[in-house]
Amino acid sequence: MKAVNSMVNNKGDDDYFNRLLSYFRSQFMEKIIQMVPIRKSVLFLKTENNTYIMKGYHSNSRLRLQEAFTRTLYNEGFKKTYKFLAPTVREQLFFEGTYFGCIEYIPPNRTSFSFHTEKNRQEGLELLEKFHETTSSFEARYRTLLPKGDMLGKWSERFNIFSSNLPFVKYFFNEPFISEMLSWAEWSLAGMKKDHFFFKNEPFVILHGDVAHHNFLRDRNGTLLLIDFDLISIGPASYDYLQYANRILPYLEWSYDKLHQYEPIKNYLHEKAFLYALAYPADIFREWNRIIREKSYTDHLKLKQVMDLTISQFYTRKKFIDRLKVLVD
């Protein structure tokens, strides 16, 4: 019999995963031969006959919603994602306050997806557009089940948290960077508030909500898939495209002109509300709020990554935002 692998970071993790492994062994009708944690509440699980991704949810309703949504996606024609499976278990999987769903394991390509290449950036955007086209046909069925996207509210809250974190942030970098970033955010939020009707009048879809590179998966055959729908909500497609633009702009050297290469982002570049939103430093605020919340600034690698994000492209980003201000004004 093969030994069960469990990758752990400390004794607390070790104890939890040993208990979880024991629980899964008691519930699965198949013999478990390998279990490897991927991240919090997500595990790779291999049995004698199958391979799964086990994903934990805080409520049974959240798990059932994810199962229903991925099934609807598939039935409506969007098949470039994963399916939830029904393994042979004795009862619903519930362990120490967490409900576990079982997702098919998709062997990844040897080359992981990233936004470094033009091919990947274009292909990821095309897949996201197809996702929106599909969800537009059934978003009405999910209006009572999903929250309504509120980018202005979300970014206003993120700005307030970052502002309250300034005493910590100032230990790591100072003027003129801080004042400039705060001014970008204030200008952006004020403009979005002034032109908010654009977002309200745009047709609604189901938004993915987290179009980071790790939520695009290229399978062994080279097919690109969209995964992880934990942050889905109802709203205008432009919300996802704004986030996508923010993710790829560092690889475009913050070039406004290069953004015109990307459909459908190009279609929004004449809209003032969209241009205002492009100026918001969502990535910088997100990462500083996270590193302070998790107190991970003592991790030199993580701190370096956030500092690079903040400082290394500061002047190219500033030039980009100055261009947006000219276009809007």
Q: Percent of the chain at pLDDT above 70? A: 96
Which CB contacts under 8 angstroms, 24+ apart, belong to 146-150? 146/65, 146/206, 146/232, 146/233, 146/234, 147/233, 147/234, 148/233, 148/234, 148/235, 149/207, 149/209, 149/233, 149/234, 149/235, 149/236, 149/239, 150/235
Q: Which residues partner with 81 through β-bridges?
A: none
Under the banding of pLDDT at 50, 70 and 90, the label for residue 246 is very high
Are 320 and 254 in contact by the 8 Å Cβ rule? The answer is: yes
Phi-psi category of 84—alpha, beta or left, where left has phi over 0 and alpha has psi -120 to 50? beta
Q: Percent of the chain at pLDDT above 90? A: 93
More confident residue, 159 or 12: 159
Instruction: Please state whether beta strands 42-47 and 51-57 pair in parallel, antiparallel, or not at all (unpaired).
Output: antiparallel
End-to-end CA distance of the chain: 70
Q: Which of 14, 42, 109 is nearest to 5 (CA)?
A: 14
Under the banding of pLDDT at 50, 70 and 90, the label for residue 8 is very low
CA distance 201 to 9: 48
pLDDT of residue 40: 85
Under the banding of pLDDT at 50, 70 and 90, the label for residue 14 is confident
Checking if the pLDDT of 3 tops 50, the result is no
In Å, what is the CA distance from 29 to each residue of 19, 66, 88? 18, 24, 6
Q: How many CA atoms lie within 13 A of 180 on its CB side?
A: 15
Are 84 and 67 in contact by the 8 Å Cβ rule? The answer is: yes
Under the banding of pLDDT at 50, 70 and 90, the label for residue 7 is very low
User: What is the value of pTM for the model shown?
Assistant: 0.93
pLDDT of residue 13: 80
Checking if the pLDDT of 295 tops 70, the result is yes
Q: What is the mean pLDDT of residues 47-75?
A: 97
User: Domains along the chain?
Assistant: 11-104 (3.30.200.20), 118-328 (3.90.1200.10)
